[in-house]
């Protein structure tokens, strides 16, 4: 991303002649759309209905209080959900009431929105306690000597050196959500500049300048997210850039700030493989891209089209990623910390389809959770607003023919087949963003149900991102469809990876996952996938080769649907059929009767039953093979 500072500055100057900050920039964002059109467009009817329903709900209750007792829970108890439930409720309230005020201009909505904005300006910090690195209970503007020696250096502290120490001021610390809040308020004020009280507008802009823009400009070092390789780069840089373009009228100041953010955008793009794959998973692709595209589009508008962040070497491939990640019947790809029913952002998807060659909006039948409400659980303002502004009529209503997509760099194989089946497998390594120890794992879908699952993200807590991460079932290989060797799981770290990955026919992948286990006696664990798109049947062949003592092997399969065992055969009920899971060893491997255990997956405050299916194999030779056939169906008995 090589953009000359002078070119950036002169582009801003040229466009500033028409007025390009505040409400003027928002008017450019609307392009050819009018409020009358958006109030009447049939394809937005469901979105408008959701806005109206949620608006009514918000008006019936007061904005929740972000109390001290909630704030302190993370560093005293390790719980982040209690505080964040209230925090994000306020952000959803901001989005829904802003859209309602903008579309319908009701006085009661205006009053409620002004109170919401005022309360957000009263918040002690816009940064989550969970993102303060254990310092949330320190007094404001604490001087920490240890920061210079590195104890807090990775946290991205706010402020600068003072008296031989470093200032940690959590009131202006910048994480994902502090930056998002600033962008949301700046965009809200630009959108509603002529409808809200000037005192409210001025305070919101002042707080955003102080907490976000100035905090970033005055910071003496690098924030931790400036050197990450994941969605944080896009969300933080995109939010700061978006807020700055709305608030800063001085072109020289704005150019200086944007020039500092451009390398962060570049890091974000380099977090994808050359094929455009996000190894963080679909959820985080949607998150990061929502902010990258929003900021890049505003920059196009702010510079009259002169600075185009979409013209990069592989942005088209990045933009295409999501269209391969939906499976028949409503399931979505959810390796790593993703969700099995991710809803695509309709506005973002339509924008990419309108501006990037070859991009398709995912078909409606390929997911069950299209969020007709623009307010996602975190109330992401820029994405929700653009669901209204960018959605077009051309969303496909039917899915595609069966397909197989290979991503050699990421070592992924994604397929759909007959009878509404789907299959996804991965190699990779055990040090990927939002990593799970899942080298060689796979998912099998039928009619939107995960017959064999990846649990995806668990409940985020203090321990979830610390040393105990891989003691949690969903993050451990024990919670994935991979073998257990000598009673041990795969290990965490970049060196624990697939040694090779070879693609055969369209729907075949062969990889050696032995290095993921870090066991010297396991010489080879060759896993071969073959998916028949014509029948929807998956075949998995595991070949075990030992260099010393023969180690015990368990083939583990994981399902959210309770399996049944009949005469040693495994069945999982799926709508009108029973799906068969057949496992057999070769002549050198004796199969032990499978065992089913009920486990618990903690997610979003609920305990979800999970069933592990363990089939042990015993052999007297140093090499044997296990064959699995998954997907043949019979009527229920």
- pLDDT by residue (tens digit) across 435-482? 999 999 999 999 888 999 999 999 998 889 888 999 999 999 999 999
Terminal alpha carbon distance of the chain: 61
The pLDDT confidence band at residue 372, using thresholds 50, 70 and 90, is low
Name which of 60, 127, 58, 65 is nearest 99 in CA terms: 58
Quickly list H helices, 60-175: 68-71, 73-77, 81-104, 107-122, 146-149
Tally of CB atoms within 10 A around 343: 18
CA distance 174 to 178: 5
User: H-helix or E-strand containing 190?
Assistant: helix 176-191
Summarised one tens digit per residue, pLDDT across range 305-342 is: 999 999 987 999 999 999 899 888 778 888 988 877 77
pLDDT score for 157: 41
Helix or strand run (H / E) with residue 24: helix 22-30
Q: Picking from 67-71, 121-125, 573-577, which range would have the lowest pLDDT averaged per residue?
A: 573-577
- Of residues 377 and 206, which shows the higher confidence score? 206
Q: What is the dihedral of CA 506, 508, 514, 515, to 10 degrees?
A: 10
Q: What pLDDT is stored for residue 52 in this prediction?
A: 94
Percent of the chain with pLDDT over 90: 72
- For 494-542, the pLDDT digits (tens) are 999 999 899 998 799 999 999 999 999 999 999 999 999 999 999 999 9
314 neighbors 269 (Cβ within 8 angstroms)? yes
- pLDDT greater at residue 538 or residue 620: 538
pLDDT of residue 153: 39
Q: What is the pLDDT of residue 147?
A: 43
Q: What is the pLDDT of residues 183-203, one digit of tens each?
A: 999 999 999 999 999 999 999
Q: Which residue has the higher pLDDT, 566 or 498?
A: 498
Predicted confidence at residue 118, as pLDDT, reads 98
Would you say residue 148 has pLDDT above 50? no
Extract the runs of DSSP E, i.e. beta strands, from 418-499: 421-426, 429-430, 442-446, 449-452, 483-485, 493-497
Every domain of the chain and the residues it spans: 5-132+173-325+332-389, 133-169, 403-634
Whether the pLDDT of residue 582 is over 80: the answer is yes
Question: Is 368's pLDDT higher than 70?
Answer: no
Render the burial of 172-207: b for 16+ CB within 10 Å, e for the rest: bbbbbbbbbbbbbbbbbbbbbeeebeeebbebbbeb
CB atoms near residue 409 (< 10 Å): 14
Higher-confidence residue of 158 and 572: namely 572
Task: Report the top-level CATH class of 5-132+173-325+332-389.
Answer: mainly alpha
Q: Model-level pTM? A: 0.92
> Both tokens of residue 364?
């409606």
Whether the per-residue pLDDT at 146 is higher than 70: the answer is no
Fold of 403-634: Beta-galactosidase; Chain A, domain 5 (2.70.98)
Mean pLDDT of 209-218: 95
Share the mean pLDDT of the chain.
Answer: 90
pLDDT band (50, 70, 90) for residue 162: very low
Q: Give the pLDDT of residue 502.
A: 96
C-beta neighbour count of 574 within 10 angstroms? 20
Rounded to whole angstroms, the Cα distance separating 130 from 466 reads 12
* pLDDT, position 367: 37
Q: Is the confidence at residue 373, as pLDDT, over 70?
A: no
| CA atoms of 150 and 93, how far apart (whole Å) | 39
Considering only 272-276, 355-359, 583-587, 603-607, which range has the smallest mean pLDDT? 603-607
Contacts of 389 (CB under 8 A, 6+ apart): 29, 30, 33, 38, 347
């Amino acid at each position: 991303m090589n953009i000359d500072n002078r070119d950036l500055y002169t582009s801003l100057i040229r466009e500033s002649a028409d007025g390009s900050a505040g409400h003027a920039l928002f008017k450019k964002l609307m392009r050819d759309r009018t409020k009358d059109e958006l109030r009447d467009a049939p394809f937005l009817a469901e979105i408008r209905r959701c806005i109206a329903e949620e608006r009514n709900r918000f008006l019936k209750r007061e904005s929740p209080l972000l109390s001290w007792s909630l704030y302190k829970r993370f560093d005293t108890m390790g719980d982040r959900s209690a505080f964040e439930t209230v925090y994000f409720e306020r952000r959803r309230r901001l989005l829904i009431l802003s859209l309602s005020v903008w579309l319908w201009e009701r006085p009661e909505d205006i009053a409620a929105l002004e109170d919401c904005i005022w309360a957000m300006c009263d918040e002690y910090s816009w940064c989550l306690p969970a993102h303060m690195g254990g310092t949330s209970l320190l007094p404001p503007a604490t001087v920490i000597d240890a920061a210079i020696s590195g104890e807090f250096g990775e946290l991205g502290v706010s402020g600068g050196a003072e008296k031989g120490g470093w200032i940690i001021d959590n009131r202006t610390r910048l994480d994902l959500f502090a930056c998002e809040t600033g962008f949301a308020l700046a965009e809200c004020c630009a959108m509603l500049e002529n409808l809200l009280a000037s005192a409210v507008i001025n305070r919101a802009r002042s707080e955003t300048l102080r907490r976000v823009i100035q905090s970033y400009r005055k910071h003496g070092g690098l924030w931790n997210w400036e050197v990450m390789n994941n969605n944080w780069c896009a969300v933080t840089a995109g939010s700061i850039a978006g807020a700055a373009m709305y608030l800063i009228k001085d072109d020289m100041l704005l150019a200086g700030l944007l020039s500092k953010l451009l390398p962060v955008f570049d890091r974000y793009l380099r977090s994808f493989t050359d094929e455009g794959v996000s190894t963080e998973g679909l959820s985080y692709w949607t998150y990061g891209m929502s902010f990258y595209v929003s900021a890049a589009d505003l920059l196009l508008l702010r510079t009259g089209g002169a600075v185009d962040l979409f013209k990069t070497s592989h942005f088209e491939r990045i933009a295409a990623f999501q269209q391969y990640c939906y499976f028949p019947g409503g399931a979505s790809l959810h390796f790593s910390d993703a969700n099995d029913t991710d809803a695509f952002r309709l506005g973002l998807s339509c924008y990419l389809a309108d501006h990037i060659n070859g991009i398709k909006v995912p078909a409606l039948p390929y997911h069950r959770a299209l969020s007709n409400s623009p307010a996602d659980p975190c109330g992401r303002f820029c994405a929700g607003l653009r669901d209204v502004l960018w959605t077009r009529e051309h969303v496909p209503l039917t899915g595609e023919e069966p397909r197989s997509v290979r991503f050699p760099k990421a070592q992924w194989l994604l397929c759909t087949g007959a009878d509404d089946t789907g299959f996804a497998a991965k190699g990779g390594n055990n040090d990927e963003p939002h990593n799970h120890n899942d080298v060689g794992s796979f998912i099998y879908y039928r009619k939107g149900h995960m017959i064999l699952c990846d649990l995806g993200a668990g409940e985020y807590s203090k321990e979830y991102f610390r040393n105990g991460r891989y003691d949690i079932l969903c993050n451990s290989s024990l919670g994935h469809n991979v073998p257990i060797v000598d009673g041990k799981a795969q290990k965490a770290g970049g060196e624990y990876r697939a040694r090779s990955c070879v693609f055969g026919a369209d729907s075949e992948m062969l990889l050696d996952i032995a290095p993921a286990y870090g066991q010297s006696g396991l010489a080879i664990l060759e896993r071969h996938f073959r998916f028949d798109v014509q029948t929807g049947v998956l075949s998995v062949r595991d070949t075990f080769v030992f260099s010393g003592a023969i180690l015990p092997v368990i083939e583990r399969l994981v399902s959210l649907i309770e399996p049944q065992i009949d005469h040693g055969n495994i069945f999982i009920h799926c709508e009108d059929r029973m799906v068969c899971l057949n496992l057999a060893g070769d002549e050198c491997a004796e199969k032990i009767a499978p065992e089913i255990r009920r486990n618990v997956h903690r997610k979003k405050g609920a305990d979800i039953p999970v069933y592990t299916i363990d089939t042990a194999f015993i052999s007297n030779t140093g090499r044997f093979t296990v064959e699995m056939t998954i997907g043949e169906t019979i009527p229920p008995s």
